[in-house]
């Protein structure tokens, strides 16, 4: 290698040193004394002129000096490079030491996982630096320490240059120490981060339990709300079957409530107990559920709701049982009213038929005697009808007061039964009218018979007397004959009433009357 090339290299190296820049987001660096480089260049240039003048005498010495100094300059460059690598490593070490000593605030699994992944990335970075940068630093240090320059004129080593030869070893020792410290810090940080992850996973589990507890509570709360609405609802019940259906539905609700208590409510409380009792504790951290009142409040709310449901259910049970009793009573009243209405209708029909076929008697005494029976009968029918009306009216009114508005067992109503009563009263009135008519007829007939008797009986007695007078006479025959002739002579006058007797008899016969006033007929006279 020529001196010119050495000088050129020197200057190129100097220019490279002056122009060299290191800059990252963490640090930057450049040669701190660029003037030193310039001074060297100036020195070389000056000496180069001088050497040219003295080259003949000192070429060998100077060439040796140049070679030695070049060697030494190379060592300095290597030292500079060694220092630069150390500076970069120290900067990285400082940054990572600060990172490893920093305790991040971690309150999520994702954050813990992120920090662990960042630590793993750091370890990969450190391993890469160990393989490359640290190895390069030590290789360069070894090169500096083992380099030798020795000729017949001079010799040189790094330790002989009296330029803090221990710096190289100190740098490497510092890096080794820091490297070991970083490993300790990394292991400690990993332990803490793994604890963070385990703790946050525990807290995540608690949050999941709490969410499940809250969801179960919400579902129960929604169920309770629906059941409160159902229990508070007052159903319109107007049949026995309707009341029985509602009681069955209430019983089904009760079974559902018991099932919910045995399953969902029990599960809610088991989960709540697990949530409140769960603990995480290590030398690094501890955790438990932070809002226990929230959990106990939900369970207390369900307990209170359960008690309220029991009260509402008991109240609804009483109402429905009362509804059923009322509807049973209404049904009994419907049946009772139908029976009473049917009895009254039959009574009125039979009474009307009986009244219509009443026989008042065959003569005036019998018809007159029937007046007492008529009064008794009318009174009895009226009393029985009144009693029936009182009964069925009372039953109807009782049912109406309970809400009975229809009756499948009968079409009868108070109005229709009033019509039946009116028909009965009409039949009784008709009978009474018929009786009075019959009484008038019997009185007229009896008067007719009496007129007949009043005429026929005296005539019959006269005729009988005349016969007796003639047949039993003890007088002389001439006197008896004279008497007979006398009667024959007055026969027209004596028989004047016969025409009236025959006329009355004809009228009696036309009316088919039996004459109670006499046994005689017109034939007998």
Identify the bridge partners of residue 30 per DSSP, sorted by sequence position.
21
Q: Do 61 and 156 sit in the same domain of this protein?
A: yes
- In 190-316, at which residue ranges do the beta strands (DSSP E only) sit? 280-281, 286-287
The whole-number pLDDT of residue 127 equals 96
**Between 11 and 143, the higher pLDDT residue:** 143
The whole-number pLDDT of residue 114 equals 96
**Between 33 and 468, the higher pLDDT residue:** 33
- Number of Cα atoms under 13 Å in the Cβ half of residue 433: 7
Q: 259: exposed, middle or buried (C-beta count within 10 Å: 0-12, 13-18, 19+)?
A: exposed
The whole-number pLDDT of residue 312 equals 97
Note the pLDDT tens digit of each residue in 465-515.
Answer: 767 666 666 666 666 566 556 655 555 555 567 788 888 888 878 888 887
The residue among 306, 322, 338 that closes a domain is 322
Interhelix angle 364-402/414-471, rounded to 10 degrees, is 170
Q: Do 173 and 223 sit in the same domain of this protein?
A: no
* Residue closest to 79 by CA, chosen among 162, 1, 150: 162
What does the pLDDT average to over 167-174?
93
The whole-number pLDDT of residue 481 equals 65
The band of 462, judged by pLDDT with boundaries at 50, 70 and 90, is: confident
* Residue closest to 190 by CA, chosen among 126, 120, 283, 105: 120
Of 42-51, 180-189, 229-238, 465-474, the least confident = 465-474
Q: Do 185 and 273 sit in the same domain of this protein?
A: no
The whole-number pLDDT of residue 488 equals 56
pLDDT at 332 over 90: yes
The whole-number pLDDT of residue 453 equals 84
The residue among 267, 292, 322 that closes a domain is 322
The whole-number pLDDT of residue 489 equals 58
pLDDT at 319 over 90: yes
Q: Do 168 and 215 sit in the same domain of this protein?
A: no
Q: Do 17 and 164 sit in the same domain of this protein?
A: yes
Helix (H, G, I), strand (E, B) or coil at 286: strand
Q: Within a domain: residue 331?
A: no
Q: Do 114 and 219 sit in the same domain of this protein?
A: no
The whole-number pLDDT of residue 495 equals 59
Q: Do 243 and 171 sit in the same domain of this protein?
A: no
In angstroms, the Cα distances linking 214 to 149, 275, 300, 509 are 83, 12, 13, 113
Q: How far apart are CA 391 and CA 337, in angstroms?
A: 9
Return the percent helix, strand and coil in the chain, to nearest 5.
80, 5, 15
Q: Within a domain: residue 246?
A: yes
Q: Do 317 and 171 sit in the same domain of this protein?
A: no
Note the pLDDT tens digit of each residue in 413-439.
Answer: 999 999 999 999 999 999 999 999 989
Q: How far apart are CA 480 and CA 54, in angstroms?
A: 245
DSSP label of 154: -
* Residue closest to 393 by CA, chosen among 412, 375, 372, 409: 412
**Between 316 and 165, the higher pLDDT residue:** 316
Using an 8 Å Cβ cutoff, are 79 and 168 in contact? yes
Give just the sign of the alpha carbon dihedral 504, 509, 513, 515.
Answer: positive
Q: Within a domain: residue 315?
A: yes
Q: Do 150 and 252 sit in the same domain of this protein?
A: no
The whole-number pLDDT of residue 389 equals 95
Q: Within a domain: residue 316?
A: yes
What does the pLDDT average to over 22-48?
85
The whole-number pLDDT of residue 363 equals 86
Following DSSP, what letter does each residue of 103-121 receive, concatenated? Answer: -----SHHHHHHHHHHHHH
Q: Do 164 and 223 sit in the same domain of this protein?
A: no
Using an 8 Å Cβ cutoff, are 352 and 427 in contact? yes
The whole-number pLDDT of residue 49 equals 81
Q: For residue 320, how many other CB atoms are within 10 A of its CB?
A: 23
What is the domain range of residue 296? Answer: 205-322
Using an 8 Å Cβ cutoff, are 166 and 81 in contact? no
The whole-number pLDDT of residue 466 equals 67
Note the pLDDT tens digit of each residue in 85-125.
Answer: 999 999 999 999 999 999 999 999 999 999 999 999 999 99
> Token match 């391993």: residue?
127
Query: What is the average pLDDT score of the chain?
Result: 89
The whole-number pLDDT of residue 47 equals 80
Q: How far apart are CA 460 and CA 523, in angstroms?
A: 11
pTM of the model: 0.59
| Total number of domains constituting the chain | 2
**Residue 281 backbone phi and psi in degrees, to 5:** -150, 125
What's 104's domain CATH number?
1.20.58.60
Give the tokens for residue 56.
């003949």
Q: How far apart are CA 194 and CA 466, in angstroms?
A: 165
Could you tell me the end-to-end alpha-carbon distance of the chain, in angstroms, rounded to an integer?
207
Q: Do 185 and 226 sit in the same domain of this protein?
A: no
The band of 362, judged by pLDDT with boundaries at 50, 70 and 90, is: confident
- In 17-144, at which residue ranges do the beta strands (DSSP E only) sit? 21-23, 28-30
Q: Within a domain: residue 365?
A: no
DSSP element (H, E) containing 156: strand 155-157
Q: Within a domain: residue 66?
A: yes
The whole-number pLDDT of residue 243 equals 94
Q: Within a domain: residue 486?
A: no
Q: Within a domain: residue 394?
A: no
**Residue 511 backbone phi and psi in degrees, to 5:** -100, 5
- Number of Cα atoms under 13 Å in the Cβ half of residue 29: 15
**Between 464 and 193, the higher pLDDT residue:** 193
What does the pLDDT average to over 264-268?
96
Number of helical (H) and strand (E) elements in the chain, helices listed first: 13, 6
Q: Do 300 and 227 sit in the same domain of this protein?
A: yes
pLDDT at 251 over 80: yes
The residue among 300, 322, 344 that closes a domain is 322
Burial 300-311 (b: 16+ CB within 10 A, else e): eebeebeeebee
The whole-number pLDDT of residue 214 equals 97
Q: How far apart are CA 383 and CA 16, in angstroms?
A: 144
Using an 8 Å Cβ cutoff, are 149 and 68 in contact? yes
The band of 26, judged by pLDDT with boundaries at 50, 70 and 90, is: confident
Q: ∠ at Cα 426 (421, 432), nearest 5°?
A: 130
* Residue closest to 78 by CA, chosen among 5, 171, 177, 153: 171
């Amino acid at each position: 290698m020529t001196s010119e090339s050495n000088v050129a290299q020197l200057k190129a190296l100097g220019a490279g040193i002056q122009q060299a820049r290191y800059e990252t987001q963490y640090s930057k660096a450049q040669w701190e004394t660029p003037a030193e480089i310039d001074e060297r260049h100036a020195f070389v240039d000056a000496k180069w002129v001088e050497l040219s003048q003295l080259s003949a005498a000192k070429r060998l010495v100077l060439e040796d000096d140049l070679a030695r100094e070049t060697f030494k300059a190379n060592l300095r460059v290597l030292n500079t490079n060694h220092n630069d690598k150390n500076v970069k490593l120290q900067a990285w070490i400082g940054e990572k030491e600060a990172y490893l000593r920093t305790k991040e605030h971690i309150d999520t699994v994702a954050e813990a996982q992120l920090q662990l992944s960042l630590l793993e990335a750091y370890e990969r970075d450190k391993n890469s630096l160990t393989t490359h940068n640290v190895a390069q630093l030590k290789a360069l240090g070894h090169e500096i320490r083992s380099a030798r320059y020795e000729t017949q004129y001079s010799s040189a080593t790094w330790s002989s240059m009296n330029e803090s030869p221990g710096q190289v070893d100190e740098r490497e020792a510092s890096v080794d120490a820091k490297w070991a410290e970083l490993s300790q810090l990394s292991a400690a940080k990993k332990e803490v981060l793994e604890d963070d992850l385990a703790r946050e996973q525990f807290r995540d589990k608690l949050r999941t339990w709490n969410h499940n507890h809250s969801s179960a509570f919400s579902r129960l709360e929604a169920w309770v709300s629906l059941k409160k609405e159902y229990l508070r609802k007052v159903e319109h019940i107007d049949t026995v079957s309707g009341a029985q259906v509602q009681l069955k539905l209430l019983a089904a609700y009760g079974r559902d409530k018991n099932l919910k208590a045995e399953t969902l409510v029990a599960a809610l409380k088991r989960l709540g107990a697990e949530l409140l009792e769960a603990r995480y504790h290590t030398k690094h951290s501890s955790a438990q559920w932070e809002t226990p009142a929230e959990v106990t409040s939900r369970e207390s709310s369900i307990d209170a709701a359960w008690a309220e449901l029991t009260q509402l259910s008991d109240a609804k049970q009483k109402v429905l049982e009362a509804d059923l009793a009322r509807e049973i009573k209404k049904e009994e009243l419907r049946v009772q009213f139908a029976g009473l209405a049917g009895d009254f209708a039959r009574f009125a029909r039979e009474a009307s038929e009986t009244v219509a076929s009443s026989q008042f008697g065959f003569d005036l005494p019998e018809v007159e005697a029937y007046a007492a029976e008529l009064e008794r009968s009318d009174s009895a029918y009226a009393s029985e009808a009144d009693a029936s009306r009182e009964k069925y009216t009372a039953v109807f009114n009782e049912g109406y007061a309970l809400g009975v508005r229809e009756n499948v067992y009968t079409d009868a109503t108070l109005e229709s039964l009033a019509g039946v009563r009116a028909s009965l009263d009409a039949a009784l009135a008709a009978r009474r009218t018929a009786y009075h008519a019959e009484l008038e007829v019997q009185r007229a007939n009896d008067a007719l018979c009496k007129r007949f008797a009043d005429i026929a009986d005296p005539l019959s007695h006269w005729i009988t007397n005349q016969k007796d007078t003639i047949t039993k006479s003890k007088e002389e025959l001439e006197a008896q004959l004279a008497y007979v002739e006398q009667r024959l002579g007055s026969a027209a006058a004596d028989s004047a009433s016969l025409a009236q007797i025959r006329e009355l008899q004809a009228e009696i016969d036309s009316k088919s009357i039996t004459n109670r006033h006499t046994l005689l007929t017109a034939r007998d006279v």
